[in-house]
Amino acid sequence: MPKRVGQKIKMTSIDELLCVPSVSGCDEIEVARIRPFKDHPFKVLDDDKMHELVESIMMNGVLVPVTVRPIEDGTYEMISGHRRLYAVKEIGLEKIPAIVKNYDDDEAVLAMVDSNLQREEILPSEKAFAYKMRYEAMRRQGQRNDLTSSRFGKKLWADQELAKEVGESRGQIHRYLRLVELIPQILDLVDKKTLALATAVEVSFLDHKVQGMLYDYMMENDICKTFQIFALRDYLKENDTITKMELIRILNENAPRDERHRFQKITITKKKLQEYFPTFYTKPQMENVLFRLLEDWKKQNDEEGKT
């Protein structure tokens, strides 16, 4: 039986990993010279999909070039391809195939948002900031005499055009635009589908201090419903400020009725009390201590609401 001759294993070279596509105007650009897009609204996550992208580039190279625009000092700003750039950096490549476009600021925003809206999964927070950037860029372009007639026409507004281009209703566009007014903690609840979009829109009309108190309430109790936020906003229409205790009262009074959670009676076991009180304390003495502590707690919460 003939002996098998050992075969040489061909290792993929750096040039093969880059796999520069034969696209007109495509160049190899040093990774170190590419900056992320300013205020890029789309998250680049080190998740399973990113790991798949890294493996794909290691096996096949960068099949689709990124798009960049020149800025200053020989550097470039990323327009499309933030995830590919991240993957290339993970692998350790020094260059990436790129198409260079001479976009102005507004053209860059429109191109960046359009390219990223093609993704399968987009978080509400990503849509919110992306729509806002695109909406503002479109409004600026619509105000220019050289673009007004050709881009929007006489009767078409930026929000209508945006709704048409992204496949949303005009009302839904404005709902997403409201989300940028939320504090990050509450916006995160929307991304996690814990807080309904319609409720989040109503929350966005509250100032950030009240949103902070509302977030604390939801973490300690339950996620609020839209009608609770309506009640809170009605109170604030007639009052300039609100304390934390007043906020809790309004939300509790307007919460969905559930007898299991209604305040009726609290029982503290003898064993639990002995952890905090000396054995010689009488019942009236323990009650006095508890009520003094509760009074201090109430004052502290009232002061926090006023500051």
Indicate the pLDDT class of residue 155, thresholds 50, 70 and 90: very low
Domain final position from 128, 157, 180: 180
The sheet with strand 95-100 has its strands ordered as: 26-30, 95-100, 66-70, 76-80, 34-35
Task: State whether 227 and 273 are in the same domain.
Answer: no
Indicate whether 248 belongs to any domain. Answer: yes
Indicate whether 304 belongs to any domain. Answer: no
Task: State whether 133 and 74 are in the same domain.
Answer: no
Task: State whether 164 and 98 are in the same domain.
Answer: no
Indicate whether 133 belongs to any domain. Answer: yes
Indicate whether 83 belongs to any domain. Answer: yes
Could you count the other beta carbons within 10 Å of the beta carbon of residue 299?
11
* Residues spanned by the domain of 175: 104-180
Contact 43, 121 (CB under 8 A): no
Contact 276, 253 (CB under 8 A): no
Contact 233, 202 (CB under 8 A): yes
In angstroms, rounded to a whole number, what is the distance separating the alpha carbons of residues 148 and 156?
A: 10
Reported as a single tens digit per residue, the pLDDT across 21-79 is: 545 568 899 999 999 998 888 888 888 889 999 999 999 999 999 999 998 888 999 99
Indicate whether 255 belongs to any domain. Answer: yes
Indicate whether 76 belongs to any domain. Answer: yes
- The count of structural domains within the chain is 4
CATH number assigned to the domain comprising residue 58:
3.90.1530.10
Indicate whether 302 belongs to any domain. Answer: no
Indicate whether 6 belongs to any domain. Answer: no
Residue 179's pLDDT is: 96
